[in-house]
Structure 1
Amino acid sequence: MARVWNFLVFDDDREILELLVEELEEPGFLGEDVIKCTTVDNFLDARRYVETGNFDLVILDLQDEGADLNNKGDDDRLSGERVLDYLKDKQFIPVVFNTGYAEKIMHLQSHFVKVVRKGAAGELSRVVRETFETKLPELIRYIQDEQRKYLWGHVEEHWGSADELKEEGEVAYLLARRLSNSLSASSIRKFFNPEYVGGSKVHPVEYYIWPALNFRVSLGDLYSANESGTIYLVINPACDLEQGKADVVLLVKCSRIEEFSEFESIRNAISEQQVVGSGKRKELTGLIGDNRKIAGGQPDRYKYLPGTSFLPHLVADFQFLSQIPMEDFLKGECFTKIATLDTPFAEGVQAKFARYYGRFGMPDLNFETIAGDIILAMQNVRA
């Protein structure tokens, strides 16, 4: 089903605005979807629209010559920069700067703010399409729709009387839980792939919360040592950290996968232009599948943490365990938090750690001898 996407386009030149609208509203620009443009040619209107309008993408020129010439205050930013700041204060919408002064604002460029040089053939179209390929505009609309459907379609329909939700904050709490459920891993997989029907396979980024949500220490936090760059995993039980019972932070060293023989043997084979045999592949699969089989080794000793754009492929080694007083750790001078393992992966790592250190080193009985004695005793009874 074709969707309608609403764009706000700001440029102080009306002729350029008309050309932009003609380009963006061309049928087929976003496949079957349709683009509708709202245009503004001055700073004040642009500010008003970003404060109150509901748009899926904003395209900004950097300058409004009239407003910028009359801007005699302490704020020396150009109009487009000020519109972006107004927008950030009010709502989240991806932004594309289309300007002849791209070099002045390259520092603003990010995943959500793109900079295009005005007049560069095809560049604006390419960047707009790439923004929609990220599915960010679609995700924003999905969250808004989930909120709308729940409040109008469920709360309004099933709770006809306000007396049924008497406690302060009950509706807000239920909405928050509903949104949380709507953004669960399985729901998001369904959002990105409507044909998804369930399964146990996950994408590596589902392992992590990135950037980490808060400054307190939590089970599953991944920290980088500021001096060495070594990455460590916090393994304290979650309840101890949440209740303030942890006097020390327990850190498990995480090594890059390149440091393991399973990786090294394949890298050497490839460098020597050899075929990577099934044996080497099986060894690497065992390492990342948490079933490392080496002489005298324990599979529970290692836990693979998948690599992403913000983390290398890592293997946590439970034999390398460090303890740092909580007071010293919280000073933040030696470690920088990178990310946090999400639920249930953090709890899974903690359970594996507990199994590894909970093993009892008991000598085995001579089971064959005992079985022989039992059989002999039964034979003697029968005789």
Structure 2
Amino acid sequence: MHLSLKLALALVALCQLPLALAAAPANSAAPAQAAVDAQWQTYMARSDELRKLDDNFIRTEIKRLGLKKPLQPAYTKEFGFEPNQPTPWFKSAEGKATMAAILSLQTPSGGWSKRTDMTKARQPGMAFGSEKGYIPTFDNGATSTQMTLLAKAYSATGDKAYQDAFARGLQLILNAQYPNGGWPQNYPLVGDYHNYITYNDSLMVNLMFLLRDIAKGEGDYAFVSPAQRQLAQQSLDQAIQCALNTQVLVNGKATVWGAQHDPLTLMPAKARAYEMASLTSAESVWMVEFFMGLENPSAEVIESVHAAADWYDATKITGKVWVRGDADLKDDPNAPPMWSRFYELGSNKPIFGDRDGAIHYEVGKVSKERREGYAWYATSPNKILKHYAKWAKKYPRAQ
């Protein structure tokens, strides 16, 4: 996708994206391009409005209470609760208290944060999340997890408060979706790599599964209105097309995906210093799994899955194991195939990063801290390849 120079400059300022990737010739403003530009301008303006909504809400509260800065909610690695709860739990005292806390921690813009204890209700003057840059976010299952809980809670109790909060959350997801169908890590936008279309931590797929369930309107989602179901299906269709468009082509051949993609060029993009622009084996697993779960997949989706399976077969590492922290792979003839987490664009060579931004071709060159603190190899593709063997018989490659 190409944007006019004027819009590209605006996006650079708001998204902090590299100008070299964003800029397009100034004479590209054809009627069709003008419509695309208008979509992006509307998107950016809406993000800005929702950011101000969240900020003004907190600012007003702390001023009224005479505070110098917001109070901080309790930090926790997950959310402080088990999402997979039986129906009776939502009617229990514990369930009602947890759901009340979740309702209180929904931002004015409609989403939720991560790494915040959501068993404790938000108090006046308190921030909506423990990590400032992730309020709200879709990272680490945030917002999609709360939406799932709200659907179950409403199905179990019929409490309209859950239905209303669900509707607000759905609207945020729809608002956050880029015109090209992808989602940023955080929304309203906060800049830097957080604005990239994010496959990391199954972010895109979590939202796509949620939208699929909403669009079906079955089970816990039977309460969803026809209009909401239609909007969810339209959003899902856009997301599927985005996933197809971001599947990386190397020498004209489809491969897999990056952990994150630039929202303008759709190419894999660098995030943290040790997370390079690359092909990623682990994050791509979830996208392939989602595609194989689609009913009546299109010819494009079918080819996408076959191409990804080909790539996994070509890049697998056999007869080796890696223990986190080790500088070398160890021989093990009985080990299942494994894959490097990241592969160099174009060459398919395994690559490894470090906190100083250096890129290495051997895991042993990475600092001990990063070898111990990051998963540089994955075996998760084995699961989807087992599924693929059955799926491929039902959906053979077009001749």
TM-score (norm 2): 0.25
From the two aligned structures, give the one with the greater strand fraction: 1
**Larger Cα-atom Rg:** 1
